[in-house]
Amino acid sequence: MDFSSANIDLWQGMLQIAILCALMLLANVLRRKIPWIRRSLMPTAVLAGFLLLLLRYLGVVHVNSDFMEMVTYHALGLGFIALSLRIPQKDGHLDAEGLVGPKSGALIASCYVLQAIFGLIISMGLGYTLMPGFFKAAGILLPMGYGQGPGQANNIGSTYEQLGFTGGQSFGLSIAAAGFLCACIVGVIYLNVLRRQGKIRGAVEYEEVSGSVTVDTFQDENEIPIAESVDRFSMNMALVLVVYGLTYLLSLGLTSLFSGGLGNTISTLVWGFNFLFGSMLAIGLRSVFTGLRKVRLMTHQYQNNYLLSRCAGGAFDLMVIAGIGSIEFSELQGLWLPFILMAIIGGIVTFYYLLWICKKLYPNYYYEGFFSMFGMMTGTISSGVLLLREVDNVLATPAANNLLLGTSFAVLFGAPILVVVGIAPQSDAMCWLTLGLVTVYMALLLLFMLKVKRKKK
């Protein structure tokens, strides 16, 4: 085998990953050393993504767009599998807060649905008036980009591109990038407005101290010893990759059951939502391990929550950098009007909806609940935590916990949205049906959040 630079296949992938990592290190230095960047609360991975995008268009850095899309796609699945393999921790907030977990999940799903409603109104309105022939289901990419981030925006955008939406992938990734800017710019401006009004106090500069991980955090009862013959990180990475391999086999089996036009649609959806199947398999494997330990056929706990969280964090950081950096603005020609309308209206609707609903759901920590959810529903969970730390720097309120609990329940509440993703692009009539379905579902979610109470014992 030729190990020299002449073997492009041997070196290209590693060099592309090295570029992503180098830009992440550079972005971290800029964020720590330049005050106005630090005050912007822009996550390091987001800043690195915009740096990659800028350097690409200046011709300074050359990356393979197909490889960046591959990183975005696989990192999303690997990250969700790592999160799903973690052992659930018993939390005292569950009983004290009643239905806060399910209601937080319903809140997250309702944001997806609300963004889908306004996205469809914009795309269908333009398709019937100013832009005849415009892909009317494009509005579904608003919740994919704002609510779920670049990974899902990339997947669904690629799927819609195969179904006839020219430039769909770059459109979805551009919406996701606009969402990060909305989280950082609008969130920081509103923080400063509230501080001037005296409604919140400025947070103390907060940075985690290196080496602050305790033995209790890193070592659960009955875990494999640190001195085991195989490294603990290797075991956890092996679990993640094995589940991802099983996800491939499951997706392959599901798509082989269908053929024809319907089969093609189902196939694109199955492969586009591979992260969801991976999460379900990871939860199933976690349950099997728990059962084996209960009957004493397995003596050690192989999952380590700390290491799995680090695996997920690393995957999501690479996903964000590659996703933003692979945007092709040339493919947005003729799509600037719907992009600008969705980016602006999506941000406004999300902002005012959360202002209203968070006051209902989190009356005792309203601002903490609002900023955490606004950051996540326009960016990712990391931008939600960054905004939260500006009003709750030690995470004393349950707001951060609600993000984690809500995300778990949102998988259940968000399942119907997966159906409309596949229905909408079929025809104009299906777009109207989708709009009606998501409107009805929005009403049901609001009914659950505002009217359902936990029975008092």
* 149 or 246, greater pLDDT: 246
In this prediction, residue 22 carries a pLDDT of 95
Is 380 a residue whose pLDDT tops 80?
no
Residue 447 resides in a domain? yes
CB 424 within 8 A of CB 438: no
Mean pLDDT of 244-273: 79
Residue 93 resides in a domain? no
Q: DSSP assignment, residue 144?
A: I
In this prediction, residue 17 carries a pLDDT of 93
Q: Which two tokens stand for residue 258?
A: 């269908």
For 352, the domain range is 15-88+115-208+226-451
* C-alpha dihedral sign at 67, 68, 71, 76: negative
One-character DSSP codes across 274-322: HHHHHHHHHHHHHHHHHHHHHTTS--SB---HHHHHHHHHHHHHHHHHH
In this prediction, residue 384 carries a pLDDT of 83
pLDDT tens sequence across 14-29: 999 999 999 999 999 9
**H-type alpha helices, 35-87:** 35-39, 44-58, 65-85
Is 65 a residue whose pLDDT tops 90?
no
CB 159 within 8 A of CB 269: yes
pTM for this predicted structure: 0.74
Is 354 a residue whose pLDDT tops 80?
yes
Residue 218 resides in a domain? no
Is 153 a residue whose pLDDT tops 80?
yes
Mean pLDDT of 250-266: 76
Residue 195 resides in a domain? yes
pLDDT tens sequence across 172-222: 989 988 998 898 889 888 988 898 888 887 554 444 444 445 544 556 665
pLDDT tens sequence across 128-138: 999 998 999 99
Residue 243 resides in a domain? yes
In this prediction, residue 302 carries a pLDDT of 84
**Number of domains, the chain:** 1
One-character DSSP codes across 199-229: SSPPPPP--PPTT---HHHH--TTBPPTTSS
CB 399 within 8 A of CB 372: yes
Residue 148 resides in a domain? yes
Strand, coil or helix: 241: helix
In this prediction, residue 389 carries a pLDDT of 77
| Rounded distance between C-alpha atoms, residue 221 and residue 284, angstroms | 21
Is 439 a residue whose pLDDT tops 80?
yes
Average pLDDT value over all residues in the chain: 84
In this prediction, residue 96 carries a pLDDT of 42
pLDDT tens sequence across 315-345: 888 988 888 888 777 778 889 999 999 999 9
In this prediction, residue 204 carries a pLDDT of 45
Residue 3 resides in a domain? no
Residue 10 resides in a domain? no
Is 447 a residue whose pLDDT tops 90?
yes
CB burial string 39-78: b at 16+ within 10 A, e below: ebbbbbbbbbbbbbbebbeeeebebeeebbbebbbbbbbb
Find all residues with CB under 8 Å of 404, minimum gap 6, and list them: none
Percent of the chain with pLDDT over 90: 35
pLDDT tens sequence across 36-50: 888 777 778 888 988
The widest CA-to-CA distance across the chain, in whole angstroms, is 72
For residue 79, give the nearest of 213, 243, 190 by alpha carbon.
243
pLDDT tens sequence across 68-125: 888 888 988 898 898 888 887 654 444 444 588 899 999 999 999 999 999 999 999 9
